[in-house]
Structure 1
Amino acid sequence: MPFRSPLPDVEIPDVTLYDLLFAGLSGAELERPATVDGPSGAVTTYGALRGQVDAVAGALAARGVRPGDVVALHSPNVPAFAAAFHGILRAGATATTVNALATGEDVARQLADSGATLLVTVSPLLAAATAGADAAGLPADRVVVLDGADGHESLHDLLAEGLPAPDVTIYPATHLAVLPYSSGTTGRSKGVMLTHRNLVANVVQSDGMIGVSPQDRVLAVLPFFHIYGMTVLLNLAMYNRAALVTMPRFDLGEFLRITQDERCTHLFIAPPIAVALAKHPLVDRYDLSSVRVVISGAAPLDGEIGGAVARRLGCVVRQGYGMTETSPVALLIPVTADDVPLSSVGFPVPNVECMIVDPATGAEVPLPASGVSDPGELLVRGPNVMVGYLANPEATADTLDADGWLHTGDIVTATPDGVVTVVDRLKELIKYKGYQVAPAELESLLLTHPGIADTAVVASRDAEGEEVPKAFVVTQEGVDLTADDVVVFVAEHVAPYKKVREVVFIDVVPKSASGKILRKDLRDLTGVQA
């Protein structure tokens, strides 16, 4: 039988994301700080932010953006991101968020695949943005640079027009709000179709388990373009009228300084930051006594590391589990649950059902009477689960079955009360510092090198235990190729987090009779564990 959260279901409002976050602002709330720019300390109130959102929506409508159109947003975590993102949704358009580390090739691919008619970026990312826009056929007047650049409109230009938000009709259950890109369980990145209801649902599902209040100050270093930062930071913090303190990129010293100076109470992190908080001597130079809660996501957190962070900072540490396809939070350890092992990812959030199945047979793996269950693939069903992948019915059918179960590709065990622990990964994705790296994408790129005859990419572990891409390469006969040659070639074409970190030259890539790469054989050959 499927198992659910021990917490009661929550009511999911039938409203747009804009209405959930901004429609009910009271007089006192209008004056509260919504965003704080971490580097400068500049504050934007909720009233000012709502005004910016409405003005952006009006300006976009004046430029021909209509409900159902797609607008790309390519920016790090800056206060203007909030105005642009929610302005796009307020105009009835769909926001496709682009990784701030994306190359021009990455930007072009996402613009073309999503059908974006306008791109919003920032000046530090303008080279990649314009290269991508040019390749995708977007002219310069369809590229807005939030902080200004010659030949492009800025956020100031959009706001100065003072146009009212358009009167649009949006049905939350079916209207696409965002189109983030994810590799899903395998393969190249695909547009994940998430409706307003998906995002609204996940905010209210997660809210009671995370415990953010209007008095809290939430440090936003995890990127808003990633679904974790988008839902848990940008949306959930604002739902609770908390102050969102933005950081455009991670630097440990600056992270600690901002936490100290802005008296941040909640830190949402990925495991590499947890390692620094647990071990780095720099932490001791700062007053982090304001921190009450640290929540880790995006990749599995080692329970010992999490415990070390809790002891060092004197705070609560929790972790959760999710995917872009689940908006993202599916399971979570509540901040109030001191009896749930930190090595687990907790239990389902309200309104979510989970099931564990044998990946070979599809037979259900029952919860045990005691101890832990047999391992199996985790399936998830609930109002936060995506509609499907954009223009990719085959990939959608492979992931989302006819009964609404999302097949996560993760192998888990569970306790009798439904506490889940991730033990392995059925899917081929590599998680580097929380970012998804698809082996198939790197393999396709490597095969374009004239000196490479065949290749396979698997996950390896570096000296710090971080999962990294490792390439096995078969060279063309008579070609003299070094590992550095391979690393440099890949680096010239991909975002930094996708770079190959290790290279091994082999005589032949092991494959099945059907031609599928036998990645397990490669891992066993080298002792790699993914």
Structure 2
Amino acid sequence: MLSPDVAHILPATDTFQEVIPAVLPMFHIYGFTVLSLSTLIIGSKVVTLRKFAPDVYISVLKNYNVTSVIAAPPLVLFLTVHPDVKTEYLQSVRLVISGAAPLGSLDEERFLEKNWTTSSYASRIRSDRDIASGDYIHKKAFEKSSVGKLVPNTFAKIIAVDDPTGTPLGPNQSGELLVKGPQVMRGYHNKPEETKNAFLDGWFRTGDLMHYNEDGLFYVTDRLKELIKVKGFQVAPAELEEAIRDFPSVQDAAVIGIPHPMYGEVPRAYVVPKAKAQLKTEELQKYIANKLAEYKQLKGGVEVVDSIPKNAAGKILRRQLKLQYEARN
């Protein structure tokens, strides 16, 4: 059992029962543990959806007095930007958990501003996010853009990227998160080489790029394998995607690294315009140039697309975009 300050989903009583829409795939570890096992064991009502469809999900919000939403970032963005998601449909929601991929602070703010700036439930809301690689961290109180502190019985350290010594970095230094704890696997079944590569001196390599501050609060940057290396600098696609989504006529975005003869790699953006919006790629590039450092700019270009490829858990399939780009160039 989790201690009371970790268990955000409340047990059923004579007068209360959590109501949770289930759209995450239950074969995924996030959907299996957080959405299924940890909710059903305490008597929650889990409203299952065969697959995500906007009208069906909105009807669940409208008709079931949903109390908690367990989501991935694309669902949070949907609840923020879709015109048919009304504030009153979320007035019974007391908890939102977003995991499987980073949710940026700007996206978090837009979600809260739309749905709870005038709601009497605002003081009860926590914006809780779990890192992609597991339940190593929890939030005891709201902290903008942080994923919180370590859960009990768990050890963690941040090390420099590709550091074979495993030397811990200090506060506010970005690197890969390594963890130890009872929730960490022993290894991959019948795959000794993969198991060996997944650990460093007994520490599990999560593949998450993170940092922590002086108060022990952790912050996710992106997945290590997704980094774009521009002139020796490491650029996190998630940071660029968040900035692009802040552009008024953009609804969704994905960023990949493409080869460049001088810089090694440069960021390339794929963007989905908002309905009826006139998206001018030159204006978007200027907007990003004014907000971010020179090496983070979209020198690989901007392509307007109808949708961003994502897996069932809501993660952007950047590898698929890379393969599409390589096939055309």
Matches within 5 A, 1:58-457: 204=2, 208-214=6-12, 215-284=17-86, 287-314=89-116, 315=122, 316-323=125-132, 328-334=134-140, 337-338=141-142, 340-341=143-144, 343-361=145-163, 362-368=165-171, 373-403=172-202, 405-428=203-226
- Once the two structures are TM-superposed, the CA of residue 284 in structure 1 deviates from its matched residue by 2.3
Deviations 1:228-254 (A, max 9, x none): 111111111112211111111111221
The CA deviation string for residues 313-372 of structure 1, in whole angstroms up to 9 with x for no partner, is 225252323445xxx3111323xx03x22x22211122211111123433533443xxxx
What residue identity is the alignment partner of 2:325?
A: V
Asked if 1 retains the 8 angstrom alpha-carbon contact of 2:102 and 2:221, the reply is no
SS in 1 for 2:86: helix
How many residues in Structure 1 have an aligned counterpart in Structure 2? Answer: 241
Cα 1:295/1:232, change in 2 over 3 Å: same
Q: What 5-or-longer segments of structure 2 have no aligned partner?
A: 117-121, 229-236, 239-255, 257-265, 274-315
- Give the partner amino acid of 1:273: L
Q: Specify the code of the residue in structure 2 equivalent to 1:240.
A: I
- Sort the Cα spacing of 1:322 and 1:302 in 2 relative to 1 into closer, same or farther, 3 A: closer
Q: Which runs of 5+ in 1 are unaligned?
A: 1-11, 13-203, 433-438, 440-457, 466-496, 508-530
> Runs ≥4 in structure 1, deviation > 6 angstroms?
429-432
The one-letter code of the counterpart of 1:356 is: I
How far residue 379 of structure 1 moved from its aligned partner, in angstroms, is 0.4
Task: Give the structure, 1 or 2, with the largest relative contact order (CA under 8 Å, sep 6 or more).
Answer: 1
Preserved CA contact (<8 Å) 2:161 2:175? yes
- For residues 10-62 of structure 1, the C-alpha deviation after alignment (integer angstroms, 9 at most, x for no partner) is xx6xxxxxxxxxxxxxxxxxxxxxxxxxxxxxxxxxxxxxxxxxxxxxxxxxx
Shift of 1:307: 2.0
Secondary structure (helix, strand or coil) at the match of 2:34 reads: helix
Give the C-alpha shift of residue 381 in structure 1: 0.9
SS at match of 2:190: coil
Relative to structure 2, which stretch is displaced further, 394-403 or 225-234?
Answer: 394-403
Deviations 1:77-129 (A, max 9, x none): xxxxxxxxxxxxxxxxxxxxxxxxxxxxxxxxxxxxxxxxxxxxxxxxxxxxx
Once residues 377 and 367 of structure 1 are traced to their aligned partners in structure 2, the CA distance between those partners, rounded to angstroms, is: 12
Structure 1 equivalent of residue 300 of structure 2: none
Distance in 2, matches of 1:399 and 1:226, equals 19
Partners of 1:231 and 1:274 lie apart in 2 by 20
Match of 2:271 in 1: 463
Aligned-partner residue type, residue 244 of structure 1:
V
Structure 1: how far apart are the matches of 2:74 and 2:152?
29
Mean Cα displacement is larger for which, 209-218 or 222-231? Answer: 209-218
Query: Hey, what's the Cα distance between the residues in 1 that align with 2:61 and 2:158?
Result: 39
What is the CA distance between 1:261 and its match in structure 2?
0.8
Structure 1 residue 427 displacement after superposition:
2.2
Displacement of 1:281: 0.9
Matched letter for residue 365 of structure 1:
P
- For the residue of structure 2 that corresponds to 1:378, the secondary structure is strand
The one-letter amino acid paired with 2:32 is M
Q: Distance in 2 between matches of 1:375 and 1:363?
A: 14
Q: Distance in 2 between matches of 1:289 and 1:387?
A: 43
Could you say what secondary structure the match of 1:427 adopts?
helix
RMSD: 3.4
TM-score by length of 1: 0.41
TM-score by length of 2: 0.64
Instruction: Call closer, same or farther: CA 1:282–1:333 in 2, change over 3 Å.
Output: same
- Whether the 8 Å CA contact 2:102–2:222 is kept in 1: the answer is no
| Post-superposition CA distance 1:452-476 (Å, at most 9, x none) | xxxxxx99542159xxxxxxxxxxx
Q: CA deviation at 1:205?
A: 6.3
Letter in 2 for 1:222: L
Give a deviation string over 1:354-396, Cα, whole Å, max 9, x none: 111123433533443xxxx211211011111112111111110
Amino acid at match of 2:220: V
Distance 1:285 1:414 in 2: 34
Residues 307 and 317 in structure 1, CA contact (< 8 A), matched pair in contact too: no
User: Residue 500 of structure 1: CA displacement?
Assistant: 3.2
Displacement of 1:292 after TM fit?
1.3
Percent of matched pairs sharing the same residue: 32
Instruction: Give the helix-richer structure, 1 or 2.
Output: 1
Report what 2:285 is aligned to: none
> In structure 1, what is the equivalent of residue 320 of structure 2?
500
State whether residues 310 and 317 of structure 1, in contact with CA within 8 Å, keep that contact through their aligned partners in structure 2.
Answer: no
